[in-house]
A and B are shown apart, each in its own frame.
Chain A
């Protein structure tokens, strides 16, 4: 049994008096592809953002390879360099070209040489099918292209885990496929992934575990076949029935 990469213990998060995550326990093993599903406002994004400390937890702890990263005095930058994130809104740097977007983090954070960063960026851009656009600025790309560049940018850091927060929600339907295809490929290569998604087909077919969240807690989790085929919790059943009836 391998050690978990990430362990979340008794995590809670409040925004003012709004308790968004309550005493949540959760762990990620190497190679897992975990889909997080749940209704809007159930705290999925907040959980993801707490994991790489973009959001400061108000209680509990998060361990990365057994090290508590929520302890005072730990450097969140060091954690974020090893845990990549892909956002719903792409969040590309508008002042840089596609290639520069993928090189900047490697140069500044990982202190890689120009040549090494460039070669690595090119390799990942090729993987997502964006190698021909290296000279383009983000504003000149379509949504699907931007998201693929954002994935390449995250991959270029060689992260141990990649977090996706609804990577296809801001895309036109015809662009969703190209991004999902890239993610499917990454999953097949064994990348550890944590994906918040409303794409039930992706959750069912690609992930190794599906987590259903409601009201700031994990309501039910398990293998996709089990969770989609025979959900135990009535709330899960109700949530999924809305999707199945579509």
Chain B
């Protein structure tokens, strides 16, 4: 197979797609798998680090825990600073060849790629998560504590869900950066999209055409991801309005009461009964009474 002799730019692109479409797709696949998995692992690392940074430890009550946490935090600081402060391409070389020559470990391409990108993302996410946790007002933590929740329960059911929501744009940012930055892994022989494109380009010296295709693919990937994350954000925010289970007792009409739509739901009956009871209570004048007595407190 050879390049059609009198083809124009688009003709050459068409030719590259027809003959090497598979290479681009495989490259894009590798890029996406590395970016997605390492963003996920990076987030896990970031959350773990962020949580470790914010565990309270009383120096007097639990001195062992206090000093242990101190040591862990110091290590985390070193980790964050080192990985944020050096280029990922250099880290890739350092880890890949370092593992081989120091420990005799020959990492396969996937392990090396996932390790490097994850650890890198983790370093960025650690700070992001810490900030996300600190941005949740401490009143809610106190509210949870006052109910008897442990630090872990407070974190998982109150703080982290809100922190996650707040840092979702940052996670999206990291994913997009990772999609683009996996291209530096070509230095250790990972055949991701950039590396694939370079390979194809070299065959017929069609650099412009090959990288035009690559530009489009990268853009489609990042744009799709950013839109999907937007959707997820919207989902997490929930509805703008809420349904009043029953309106004001004074204007409540019979017709406004809605039975749950799905009677197969196990709790539907119980719920309907409770709502009904609640409604009855209000109609009996409970709320009217409360209203007329409002002024008495002062």
Contact = CB atoms under 8 A, between A and B. Distances in A.
Interface string B37-50: 00000000000000
A16 interface: no
B94 to A, nearest CB: 41
Interface in B149-165: 149-150, 153, 157-158, 161-162, 165
B139 interface: yes
- Interface residue SS majority, chain B: helix
Interface stretch (A20-28, A60-68, A129-137, A236-244): A129-137
A80 B147 contact: yes
A118 B275 CA distance: 12
A176 to B, nearest CB: 6
A174 interface: yes
Interface string B268-292: 0011001101110110001100100
Interface size class of chain B, counting residues whose CB lies under 8 Å from the partner chain: 35 or more
B246 to A, nearest CB: 5
B60 to A, nearest CB: 8
B235 interface: no
A54 B142 contact: yes
Given A122-B278, A132-B245, A137-B238, A52 B297 contact: no
Contacts, number: 143
A54 B58 contact: no
A92 B58 CA distance: 26
Contacts of A31: none
Nearest to B266: A115
B146 A80 contact: yes
Interface stretch (A4-12, A103-111, A224-232): A103-111
Contacts of B245: 131-135
Given A54-B146, A95-B162, A134-B245, A202 B274 contact: no
A3 interface: no
Contacts of B58: 56
Contacts of A109: 147-149, 153
Contacts of A84: 146-147
A199 interface: yes
B261 interface: no
Contacts of A234: none
B158 A93 contact: yes
A237 to B, nearest CB: 24
A157 B144 CA distance: 12
A223 interface: no
Given A80-B146, A87-B139, A91-B143, A115 B290 contact: no
A135 B243 contact: yes
Contacts of A95: 158, 161-162, 165
B149 A91 contact: no
Contacts of A220: none
A165 to B, nearest CB: 10
A119 B278 contact: no
A81 interface: yes
B278 A132 contact: yes
Contacts of B150: 77
10 contacts: A87-B143, A90-B139, A91-B139, A91-B143, A95-B165, A105-B149, A131-B274, A131-B278, A135-B244, A201-B297
Given A54-B142, A90-B143, A104-B158, 7 more contacts: A93-B143, A108-B149, A109-B153, A114-B267, A118-B270, A118-B271, A177-B296
